[in-house]
Amino acid sequence: MGIDSFCSLDGSDPFWDWNRTWQTHNPDLTPCFQNTVLVWIPCLLLWLFAPFYILYLKRNDRGYICMTHLNRAKTVIGFTLWLICWADVFYSFWERSLGATIAPVYLVSPTMLGVTMLLATFLIQYERRKGVQSSGVMLNFWLIAIVCATVTFRSKILHALNEPASVNVFKYTTFYIYYTMLLISLILACLSDQPPLFSQAVKDSNPCPELGASFLSRITFWWITGLMVTGYKRPLEEKDLWSLNTEDKSQRVVPQLVRRWDQECNKVKRPVDKTLYSPKRAARGEKKDGQPIEESEILLAKTLQKTGEPSLFCALCQTFGPYFLVSSLYKIIHDILMFVGPEILRLLIQFVNDSSAPTWHGYFYTTLLFVCTCVQTLILQKYFHVCFVTGMRLRTAIVGAVYRKALVITNAARRTSTVGEIVNLMSVDAQRFMDLITYINMIWSAPLQVILALYFLWQNLGPSVLAGVAVMVLMVPVNAVIAMKTKTYQVAQMKSKDNRIKLMNEVLNGIKVLKLYAWELAFKDKVSAIRESELRVLKKTAYLGAVSTFTWVCAPFLVALSTFAVYVLMDEHNILDAQKAFVSLALFNILRFPLNMLPMVISSMVQASVSMKRLRVFLSHEELDEDNVERPAITACDASLCLFRINVRIPEGALVAVVGHVGSGKSSLLSALLGEMQKQEGSVSIKGSVAYVPQQAWIQNTTLKDNILFGRDAKDSWYQKVVEACALLPDLEILPGGDLTEIGEKGVNLSGGQKQRVSVARAIYCNCAVYLLDDPLSAVDAHVGKHIFEKVIGPQGLLQGRTRVLVTHGLSFLPQADLILVMVDGEITEMGSYTELLGRQGAFAEFLHTYTNTEQEEVEESVGGKTPEKTEPSDVAAAKKAKSTEAARLTEADKANTGRVKLSVFWEYTKAIGLPLSIFSFFLFFCHHLSSLGSNYWLSLWTDDPVINNTQPNREMRLGVYGALGLTQGIAVFCYSVAVSVGGILASRYLHQTMLYNVLRSPMSFFERTPSGNLVNRFAKETDTIDSVIPSIIKMFMGSMFNVLGSCAVILIATPLVAIIIPPLGLLYFFVQRFYVASSRQLKRLESVSRSPVYTHFNETLLGTSVIRAFGEQQRFIRESDGRVDHNQKAYFPSIVANRWLAVRLEFVGNCIVAFAALFAVMARDSLSPGIMGLSISYALQVTTSLNWLVRMSSELETNIVAVERVKEYGDTEKEAEWRLEHSTLPAGWPTTGHIEIRNFGLRYREDLELAISDISVNIEGGEKVGIVGRTGAGKSSLTLGFFRIIEAAQGEICVDAVNIAELGLHELRSRITIIPQDPVLFSGSLRMNLDPFDGYTDEEVWRALELAHLKNFVSGLPDKLNHECSEGGENLSLGQRQLVCLARALLRKTKILVLDEATAAVDLQTDNLIQSTIRTQFEDCTVLTIAHRLNTIMDYTRVLVLDKGQMAEFDSPSNLTAKKGIFYKMAKDSGLV
């Protein structure tokens, strides 16, 4: 039975009839077609998708939605529709029973429809059970059903009007009811149901509206409009941002990747047998002195060895692949739809040529074009959305994985990469992946587009297309070569950038030392040298970029030219008419995109693969072995890297002191106990929880209280005790906000002693079983040290009964130790109690006798155990109330500027490029676009040439001019590309230089206020933006702007009627764009502001890993880091959605322009030539992309130009005084005698604080040795800061050799006085550079200084001698050695005045004596000012200045002061010197 007889038994109702549907002025479909195809399409689609959809719902259960009115209505209508269909079926049966002949279709179609409606009703309920608030599947089903029904609806009405007699009333009635119900269903499907029970959204204060949005709102991104409106009314703030969706949060994303990565790592490891010798304890037999007898046993241990590299790529694919695959589906649909445009263009030109075609064809094509472009828009934006969300999750996962890895990586592995490089893994490399994800689909999509385009071109022009293809194929290797070259340059640039950031990081961390030594210029030159090499590479990249821009802007043109030339010249009967030319042009334009993108994607992939490798290497680093330390009771029978033959057993609750010279391995012993060192053999075991105080205090950037609590619960009484025991009460009174004062990064606003005491307080507060204290008393004054020892560490302290291992240089504490370990060169040479060791006359006795004379009395006195004078009891709470919280803030968070970027910023940038160059670039742009328009207009004239005897007469002339115009275009492109890039480099050089100079010229207070993360951000992220992002954005911005203007011009020339439409569309466009930019800019700012804390926190963690691990706080830090990343993504997510929101609206404007251009062309088809129409529509088809790019680029330009604003803002901060004065009258050898006179001197740290020191008047003769003493916070360091003018005087003056230092240039002053600062800071670079960065001294002089500083033996033992590379912060030298390097610096400069600032704090007594004796001999004729903690170092000075509460208390010779029995006497008594 044929389809015709299926519809009507007598065949009177055919399935298809051309005369009825197409070649007529009033088209209609046959009833047969309506009853079969139009009914079956929606049904088949729903049945096809239902199984998959039900499976999907089963998997993604969101919870249960209660019955609502909306749901009831949907269900009722579903049933009604089912009933109507059955009514139709029964009616047909009833008719049949009356004897009428009924065609099978009238039974089959309603039955099928009825069953489908039941399925639809079932789905509605099933969705409700699974928590779907709004369903896309159902909406699309209702939409297709209504479209199909509309055709039938129109035809039924026409039928009723034309032949009222033959109307079947019952069927018509049921159909109209059916149609109405469908409409209602469609409207209901657009609405969204209430959220499911127990969903996240109910609990959340500000949930993301995406989950609850309806399907339409989701595909058009309408759900973000609320946020955009808020952003338009006022600048967005933190509180306006939604919470992240659960599936985007760190706690969900990171573990997935980590799990997959671990699986990958385990795949490549294979077990290998390894032999270990393990000392075994004899059960009972012990030797007389209690040492267990040792035997060895051989253990065969299985260890895992790597057989290959684990694949990070596989891990990423498994984690993010499934979600990302959805985007590929969208991409395929979009790629196919792209080719609908040129096809419709072909039909339209055909329509204009054929005057007999009915007018409705034109309108039909126009509508079709509009619908297709709109669907294309929605699908493309959905695709991008999926890509960006994947990218966002990818970044979260990578940052999380790197952070978690950084906490468990071994110290050896940690040294292979600097802090800067690891932070780069987080910032730069994670970003690379995000950027790649958006384009990665182009790898298969680009070839697909190319193949489709070539297929259609072949249809159009035949074999001559091959000429065009040949040109394209030739372009590919050119682009590939350029991409590879760019890649090598990029690696070089990354390397320079890494070095520059590393150096900047150190400069910023050691800025105080640079200022004190007046070394800023040397380091500025070092940074500038690296920067210059970076810019040289950038310049090469720019020329390459110009060539590649040239190739890809000219490629489409060359392709078109070669194809048309071959086509026309091959056979003179080949006529280039409008249809061939413009359809080909439209296809070439489509081709242009994949061909441009491929090289970009490839280079982006290459970059990502470099990043992937860096990440893989980092994530595969060795981890600390959890089993390095077993956990029963402290014992060590361990041989580690620099320690050997160590056997100790420490009884529970004992106080063990570890003594030894600098570099004898004391700190290493503690590291070994913490499991921080690679264990070669033996075993270490510790019982109970561990607290650790490192030698250099690690302070977090939070409040003082949080630093002490360190994540534990606050217990007030215990906290009070701890603070008091650590002598922190007096400091809390001084600090502006009490214990709620915010401490700057690395504790910049605390003195060395305060930092160390906070570090000790943190350890005590944790209340652990074992305490490892690495020389915590060195940085504090003698009397405070004694107080802490007695109140905390000693037998009567807070820690009595705990196991304490104390590394110390203070001999006074040794008699109270239960056990003393003496270390020499990584071995324990002696152990025993104080009296035992003294009796043995070994190394320890010698060690003691060296110093006994200085500290003997102190020892005796502390055995007697007399507490130092107590600070008057003060309640912390009382202190807290008095302090304002405002004063407690120190660091300024990165501020987000609000409002529009000012034009002045653009003007600044233009000035930085140079005006002539800017204007010239603009002119070149104009030329390029003019010639491009010209060539296409010429083409349209050519296609309209009359055809004579099947040929076009003057085609050679047409071809020649077309080629010449193209050539002009190419030259202009090349020139403007070079001009813009070179301009960009000039600008970035100028901006970086001024910023560097301005930052180095800033006063110390600026660095204390500004977190180094912000500054590094300026030098890394913002500078990178100015270097590479802004110039390319400017190029694209100008390009798209001229494209849009050109397109509008062409459309206006072709169809002047469009002039009515363009202004309102332009207004809409402008409004949408302004509306968007207001929110987008602010979101971008919030995002970049919340990015800094992620890196700052990471930086901080890297510096404190050993402390975090010792306290077992890894999980808390991981949570904190995750929180910060999520916080950052909270601002990033709305900004990507805002982009999609914008694109949908803009492309709609573009689609309207296309539709109107086509519509008016159809209306004016009698007066239009096909050539002009083709030109107009092919330009209109491009307008959408150009509009899109224009807004994207203008907002990118605005958001990125912020970098210029942020780089410039440091030009307006306060600066120090001039470094060198123009007309300096200073004599060459000043100061000659070193006579210092201080009159009424006073200074304050900030405008709003009171004077830190005041009214100090002192007269010091040349060559005098003066000690400066006082309790912590008395103003000792402040005085030296004033002396070096780190802080300018608030009152009074200081004169050196009768010259007022306030009238000198800062470098003149600072380079003529020498200081040995409190923290020994070294910079990465050669040792020689650290001693003499300006290369002002000969090698002999440097060696002489090293010899006097007792470093000669050490340095000559190094393989590179003076060129020995110091690592970042000098970490490969011990603290004592660093201190000696600082001494060598001073010896090298040898000026008349020497200032020592607590220089002896971190050194054992022997080194201390070396330093003191060197200073006594070498600086004999100089004036020496010493800030002393150990009073014995200054007892032989000529005079001592005692400060108290910022004022001068006493000033006289030590003997007179002792006789006076004042403050000095009390301090000397505390130290046991009187």
User: How much of the chain exceeds pLDDT 90, in percent?
Assistant: 11
pLDDT at residue 139 in the model: 92
Question: Positive or negative CA dihedral for 607, 609, 613, 616?
Answer: positive
What's the rounded Cα separation, in Å, for the pair 591 and 1351?
Answer: 69
What's the rounded Cα separation, in Å, for the pair 674 and 1106?
Answer: 8
What's the rounded Cα separation, in Å, for the pair 1425 and 915?
Answer: 55
For 360-395, write each residue's pLDDT tens digit: 999 999 999 999 999 999 999 999 999 999 999 999
What's the rounded Cα separation, in Å, for the pair 2 and 448?
Answer: 39
CA-to-CA separations, 402 to 509, 862, 1096, in angstroms, rounded: 24, 49, 15
pLDDT at residue 594 in the model: 81
Question: Positive or negative CA dihedral for 720, 721, 723, 727?
Answer: positive
Question: Positive or negative CA dihedral for 1252, 1256, 1258, 1262?
Answer: positive
Q: Is residue 1171 exposed (0-12), middle (13-18) or buried (19+ Cβ within 10 Å)?
A: buried
Question: In 409-441, which residue ranges form alpha helices assigned H by DSSP?
Answer: 411-416, 419-424, 430-439
pLDDT at residue 1125 in the model: 92
- Whether 51 shows a pLDDT value over 90: the answer reads yes
Q: Is residue 150 exposed (0-12), middle (13-18) or buried (19+ Cβ within 10 Å)?
A: middle
DSSP state of 819: E
Question: Per residue in 390-414, is it b (16+ CB within 10 Å) or e — as a string?
Answer: bbbbbbbbbbbbbbbbbbbbbeebb
For 319-365, write each residue's pLDDT tens digit: 888 888 888 999 999 999 989 888 888 898 888 888 888 889 999 99
For 658-717, write each residue's pLDDT tens digit: 888 777 788 888 888 887 777 777 777 887 888 888 888 888 888 888 888 888 888 888
Determine how many CB atoms are found less than 10 A away from the CB of residue 527.
20
Determine how many CB atoms are found less than 10 A away from the CB of residue 1351.
20
For 522-535, write each residue's pLDDT tens digit: 888 888 998 899 88
Q: Cis before residue 1231, ω within 30 degrees of 0?
A: yes
Average pLDDT over residues 1306-1322: 82
For 572-591, write each residue's pLDDT tens digit: 777 888 888 888 888 887 88
Say which residues have a Cβ less than 8 Å from residue 728's Cβ, sequence separation at least 6: 754, 757, 758, 761
In 69-114, DSSP assigns E strands to: none
For 1364-1415, write each residue's pLDDT tens digit: 888 777 777 777 788 888 888 888 887 888 888 765 555 666 777 777 788 8
Terminal-to-terminal C-alpha distance of the chain: 125
What's the rounded Cα separation, in Å, for the pair 989 and 1132?
Answer: 30
Confidence of residue 114 (pLDDT cuts 50, 70, 90): very high
In 1402-1459, DSSP assigns E strands to: 1423-1427, 1439-1444, 1447-1452
Question: In 130-249, which residue ranges form alpha helices assigned H by DSSP?
Answer: 136-162, 169-190, 200-203, 215-219, 225-233
> How many residues appear in the chain?
1474
What's the rounded Cα separation, in Å, for the pair 806 and 659?
Answer: 9
1141 is written with which tokens? 């929101």
Confidence of residue 181 (pLDDT cuts 50, 70, 90): very high
Identify the three-state secondary structure at position 620.
coil
1436 is written with which tokens? 């032989």
CA-to-CA separations, 1474 to 866, 867, 1466, in angstroms, rounded: 14, 16, 9
pLDDT at residue 288 in the model: 42
What's the rounded Cα separation, in Å, for the pair 1011 and 710?
Answer: 21
DSSP state of 1446: T
Strand partners, 865: none
CA-to-CA separations, 1182 to 424, 482, 529, 593, 858, in angstroms, rounded: 39, 27, 46, 11, 89
Closest CA to 235 of 1085, 1022, 1124: 1085
pLDDT at residue 238 in the model: 85
pLDDT at residue 1402 in the model: 54
Question: In 510-632, which residue ranges form alpha helices assigned H by DSSP?
Answer: 511-517, 520-570, 578-619
Of the CA atoms within 13 Å of residue 828, those in its CB half-sphere come to 22
Closest CA to 407 of 1113, 1013, 1372, 1123: 1113
DSSP state of 1244: -
Q: Which helix (H) or strand (E) holds 929?
A: helix 915-943
CA-to-CA separations, 761 to 628, 706, 878, in angstroms, rounded: 27, 11, 20
Closest CA to 730 of 872, 866, 867, 884: 872
Identify the three-state secondary structure at position 1051.
helix
Looking only at the bridges linking them, the beta strands covering 1236-1243 and 1253-1260 are antiparallel
DSSP state of 196: P
Closest CA to 1152 of 1192, 1187, 1111: 1187
Q: Which helix (H) or strand (E) holds 832?
A: strand 827-832
pLDDT at residue 858 in the model: 38
For 1059-1112, write each residue's pLDDT tens digit: 888 888 888 888 887 888 888 878 888 888 888 888 888 888 888 888 888 888
For 396-407, write each residue's pLDDT tens digit: 999 999 999 988
Q: Taking a C-beta distance cutoff of 8 angstroms, is the pair 672, 640 a contact? A: yes
User: What pTM was estimated for this model as a whole?
Assistant: 0.75
Identify the three-state secondary structure at position 1380.
helix
Q: Taking a C-beta distance cutoff of 8 angstroms, is the pair 384, 438 a contact? A: yes
Identify the three-state secondary structure at position 88.
helix
Closest CA to 250 of 1116, 1122, 1094: 1122
Strand partners, 1442: 1269, 1450
